[in-house]
Amino acid sequence: MAHTVTLIPGDGIGPELAEATRRVLDASGVAFEWEVVEAGEASIAEHGTPLPEHVLASIRRNRIALKGPITTPVGGGFRSVNVTLRQALGLYANLRPARSIKGLDTRYEDVDLVIVRENTEDLYAGIEHMVGPDAAESIKIITRYASERIARYAFEYAVANHRRKVTAVHKANIMKLSDGLFLESCRRVSVDYEGQVEFEDRIVDNMCMQLVQKPDLYDVLVLPNLYGDIVSDLCAGLVGGLGVAPGANIGEDGAVFEPVHGSAPKYAGQNRANPTAMILSGVLMLRHLGYPDVADRVELAVRDVIAEGAVVTHDLGGTAGTSEFADAIVARLGSASDAPAATR
Ligand code: NAD
């Protein structure tokens, strides 16, 4: 039976990456039916809104979506579609693995980190207003409910994926109430996993320095929304950049898989951007759907093509276009499934 998946191509480089990803996933052997819906700039002209109700309805119905990046205007303009979507669908956990890929020119060779970012509250919710003409106020809300929920997700992820440690990241020395509550919630949840998963905490500024100097000391990181957003780009930088950083937004009633990066408007329509991050988001989707072996096979095909280095995109030092890179992965998947199992 085919899995019906909502596919949101998105803005900027999104449509090219979505097409490349769709081709790779279709070659994986799992049957997909893609329900393509537009959100973002493409949808404003037609529907007058960047996030029409039928897009949310499609994801609610299918409970699963693959999404390209969506442009968010700086300053004025519409509210972030990404934030609205995560809140509307209760996608409370943002999972962003950062794992080294052989063949890429990076400072470290064995980075293997998993960011678990709270996805619904904190300053990132964008609750703000002007206080008179010359001052603006942003409201940071942290709740015990959301903090314990994300901490539990991080620990459950660690147990299910044989991870040794969870590190809570915060600024509770300064924001004693809000980040203090986040930290207290993580500590409280950690007690249920004593003996199974180690727990520690770090102040966010120190965490950034430590990640740059000694990423091997860390494993699963759990963070409030805004720090999670920032630290996950830092971790992407450790493993080859935004072009290779996948992500998943997970909730009780559905999941949306999307790369960490944005719409990179300067590369839009040039067949130049790297589809790896979106393809690896598709790999996370395959795992979520219960196909770990297929997910491993697709991930290996991506890693093999990058390690060989003959067909890689510009951001990775190559000259291949988005579609040529996808072709190479599809060819790799084809040759792997033709080969006898013993040689795979
Ligand atoms: P960006 O991620 O689009 O680009 C940052 C840098 O990384 C640029 O140099 C870009 O060219 C490069 N880059 C990103 N993805 C790449 C890829 N796949 N291949 C090669 N190079 C890649 O970040 P930005 O410029 O800050 O944001 C652009 C727009 O995207 C903004 O409107 C922002 O709000 C939006 N955005 C959306 C999402 C999302 O939809 N989830 C996430 C982040 C940013």
**Domain segments of the chain as ranges:** 1-91+244-344, 107-238
Atom of ligand 1 lying closest to residue 273 CA: 19
Å from CA of 99 to ligand 1 middle = 19
Among this protein's residues, is 205 annotated catalytic?
A: yes
Residues with CB under 6 A from ligand 1: 13, 69-72, 82, 242-243, 258, 261-264, 266-267, 273-274, 277, 315
| Spatial strand order in the sheet of 64-67 | 32-36, 3-8, 64-67, 255-257, 248-250, 93-99, 112-118, 220-223, 165-170, 198-203
Residue with tokens 């998105």: 10
Asked if the domains at 1-91+244-344 and 107-238 fall in one CATH topology, the answer is: yes
The confidence score (pLDDT) of residue 77 equals: 76
Report if pTM > 0.85. yes
Per-residue pLDDT of the chain (344 residues; tens, 9 = 90+): 899 999 999 999 999 999 999 999 999 999 999 999 999 988 888 888 999 999 999 999 999 999 999 998 787 777 889 989 999 999 999 999 999 999 999 999 999 999 999 999 999 999 999 999 999 999 999 999 999 999 999 999 999 999 999 999 999 999 999 999 999 999 999 999 999 999 999 999 999 999 999 999 999 999 999 999 999 999 999 999 999 999 999 999 999 999 999 999 999 999 999 999 999 999 999 999 999 999 999 999 999 999 999 999 999 999 999 999 999 999 999 876 554 433 33
- The CATH code for residues 107-238 is 3.40.718.10
What is the model's pLDDT at position 335? 74
Burial of 215 (0-12, 13-18, 19+ CB in 10 A): buried
Q: Which residue, by CA, sits nearest to atom 42 of ligand 1?
A: 262
Strand partners, 95: 116, 248
Catalytically annotated residue among 122, 171, 218, 315: 171
The pLDDT assigned to 344 comes to: 33
pLDDT at 343: 34
What class, spelled out in words, does domain 1-91+244-344 have in CATH? alpha beta
DSSP state of 33: E
Pairing type for strands 128-130 and 93-99 reads unpaired
Query: Which of the following is catalytic: 92, 124, 193, 267?
Result: 124
Q: Is 171 assigned a catalytic role?
A: yes
Specify burial of residue 258 (Cβ count, 10 A radius: 0-12, 13-18, 19+).
Answer: buried
